[in-house]
């Protein structure tokens, strides 16, 4: 990995990232840590998530913790986010990256496939947003960034379940928008705007501009 100079732009920010064990979530945890944020990385993949968090903590010197959570489990999400906010002394930002895909046309989508997609992409978005909003409420400010997809905005052939659940996820945060700012789609957020420019998959790891702009005004 190439050395990038830290500007300390996120020093003092308390951030939860879901899906932090790999992919774009891992890159976001790494980039935010490099910029001085205190981060709790949440993911289903406990071994990998913990190893990645430890490696990033050693590399950056930032406070990184890992929490094994299934975002489709409402009680687990509320407990994990509340514990994280306690440990961090509050919560400024949730970056909800965790997401799953089943590349199947509608007629081949099984009940199990659809439940799986609904659980992570839609219920997971609702639960993580509700839990983060609860943790942000005492301070009266915060940012919630949900990772959407082009597939959630426009139907993409062969991705019926993914499109439906990503489209639904993009509507979940609509209710929070007047109270907690939200970037519904990766391209609206600096951290993920470059998600498709490297090898067509990975972000550059640049922190989100909205996060850098400071807490949302109510
Ligand atoms: N990769 C792309 O080209 C692309 C394009 C558009 C949108 N997206 C969206 O961006 C996000 C990240 O994509 P990626 O390619 O980095 O994904 P990825 O598959 O590499 O990583 C997703 C992470 O989410 C975690 N996860 C899955 N289910 C979970 C659950 N129930 N609870 C907690 N964690 C869970 C996984 O363990 C994994 O670490 C996803 O929401 C995806 O839908 C990706």
User: Residue 214 and residue 7: Cα distance in Å, rounded?
Assistant: 15
User: Residue 152 and residue 60: Cα distance in Å, rounded?
Assistant: 35
Q: Is the pLDDT of residue 217 over 80?
A: no
| pLDDT of res. 141 | 85
Domain interval for residue 113? 14-212
Cβ–Cβ < 8 Å for 22, 197: no
162 annotated active-site:
yes
User: Residue 166 and residue 40: Cα distance in Å, rounded?
Assistant: 24
Is there a domain that residue 183 lies in? yes
Q: Is the CB of 145 under 6 A from ligand 1?
A: no
The CATH number covering residue 130 comes to: 3.40.50.720
| pLDDT of res. 175 | 60
Is there a domain that residue 8 lies in? no
Tally of domains in the chain = 1
**CA 97 – ligand 1 centroid, Å:** 6
Catalytic position from the list 32, 66, 133, 162: 162
Is there a domain that residue 194 lies in? yes
Is there a domain that residue 172 lies in? yes
Q: Which residue owns the Cα nearest ligand 1 atom 3?
A: 201
**CA 26 – ligand 1 centroid, Å:** 10
Is there a domain that residue 156 lies in? yes
| pLDDT of res. 176 | 52
Q: Is the CB of 201 under 6 A from ligand 1?
A: yes
Is there a domain that residue 68 lies in? yes
User: Residue 16 and residue 96: Cα distance in Å, rounded?
Assistant: 8
User: Residue 200 and residue 168: Cα distance in Å, rounded?
Assistant: 24
Q: Is the pLDDT of residue 57 over 50?
A: yes
Which segments of 77-215 are extended strands (E)? Answer: 93-96, 143-146, 181-183
What tens digit of pLDDT does each residue of 58-92 get?
A: 999 999 999 999 999 999 999 999 999 999 999 99
What tens digit of pLDDT does each residue of 21-56 get?
A: 999 999 999 999 999 999 999 999 999 999 999 999
């Amino acid at each position: 990995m190439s050395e990038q100079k830290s500007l300390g732009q996120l020093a003092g920010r308390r951030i939860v990232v879901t899906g932090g064990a790999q992919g774009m979530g891992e890159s976001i945890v790494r980039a935010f840590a490099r910029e001085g944020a205190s981060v709790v990385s949440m993911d289903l993949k406990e071994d990998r998530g913990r190893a990645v968090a430890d490696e990033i903590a050693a590399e950056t010197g930032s406070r990184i913790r890992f929490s094994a959570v299934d975002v489709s489990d409402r009680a687990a999400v509320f407990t994990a986010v509340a514990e994280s906010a306690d440990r961090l002394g509050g919560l400024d930002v949730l970056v909800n990256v965790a997401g799953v895909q089943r590349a199947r046309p509608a007629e081949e989508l099984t009940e199990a496939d659809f439940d799986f997609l609904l659980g992570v992409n839609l219920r997971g978005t609702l639960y993580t947003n509700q839990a983060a909003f609860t943790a942000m409420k005492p301070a009266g400010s915060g940012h919630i960034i949900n990772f959407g997809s082009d597939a959630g905005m426009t139907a993409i052939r062969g991705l019926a379940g993914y499109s439906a659940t990503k489209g639904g996820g993009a509507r979940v945060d609509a209710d929070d928008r007047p109270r907690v700012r939200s970037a519904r789609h990766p391209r609206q957020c600096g951290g993920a705007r470059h998600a498709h420019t490297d090898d067509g998959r990975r972000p550059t790891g640049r922190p989100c501009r909205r996060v850098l702009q400071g807490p949302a005004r109510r």
